[in-house]
Amino acid sequence: MTKKQKILKLLEENKFRPGCMISGSKSFYRELFPNNFVVFNANIIIPKMGKIWHGDLDITEDAKILKKIAAKFKTTFYVLREMEVRFGNENKPIKELISRAAWRTDLPNGVTDNHGHVDRDRFRSYFSKIDSKKIKICNQLKAEKYKTEINKILIYLKHPEALTTDESLIVDFYDIFIDQKQIPKEENKISKKFGFPIKFSDKIIDVAKKIKKNNV
């Protein structure tokens, strides 16, 4: 097993599955944890290896374990935002890519100032603990009621651990840069899977209700 494979294996064992999502609604997650440093569609770059991982990261929650894994392999994880490693940017020299990192494991708090990616005022409570008693979790009542059906949808969409709310849409679980020409094809595939018409604009909860009603 190569070093890269070992790193990926350990990441996955710690629930950092490639392509993982931490929420079915990015805006809802930000509202729920306003002081957390969250990088949706993040990319992890390692010197001499390049891009090794992508997915959602809540750095405030994930920093400790990411630093531990990087230290175990005597390397540094550089976390880049999605656009820095897309549309040809991924072919740029590694040194240039890591210089654009929004967060890295070898700094005390990991936060960088590169290219204005991090608003330090916004993340001033970066390592602070959130008082869960002050967090108001709303719009999840229906999602809880149809948990079994929602899990079927999430498994199909390959995001079994994602958080969903009553406002989550099917489109939330697809790449935001998906080719518009591919949308009808993807809608047809998921419709065929569950046996009734499903659109990207449909709410997860509404699809879940139909799955239960049709006993799919």
pLDDT digits (tens, 9 = 90+) for 106-137: 887 666 554 334 333 333 333 333 333 343 43
From 77, 103, 73, 96, select the one nearest 6 (Cα to Cα). 73
Q: What is the mean pLDDT of residues 52-79?
A: 93
Provide the pLDDT for residue 122: 37
Q: Are 28 and 167 in contact (CB under 8 A)?
A: yes
Provide the pLDDT for residue 133: 39
Domain ranges within the chain, ordered by starting residue: 3-132, 141-213
pLDDT digits (tens, 9 = 90+) for 134-193: 434 335 556 678 888 998 998 898 877 677 777 788 887 776 556 677 889 999 999 999
Q: Name every residue whose Cβ is closer than 8 Å to that of residue 206 and which is 6 or more positions away in sequence.
A: none
pTM (2 d.p.): 0.57
pLDDT digits (tens, 9 = 90+) for 21-57: 887 777 778 778 888 888 888 999 998 888 899 889 9
Provide the pLDDT for residue 135: 36
Q: Are 203 and 166 in contact (CB under 8 A)?
A: yes
Provide the pLDDT for residue 173: 77
Provide the pLDDT for residue 141: 55
Provide the pLDDT for residue 92: 84
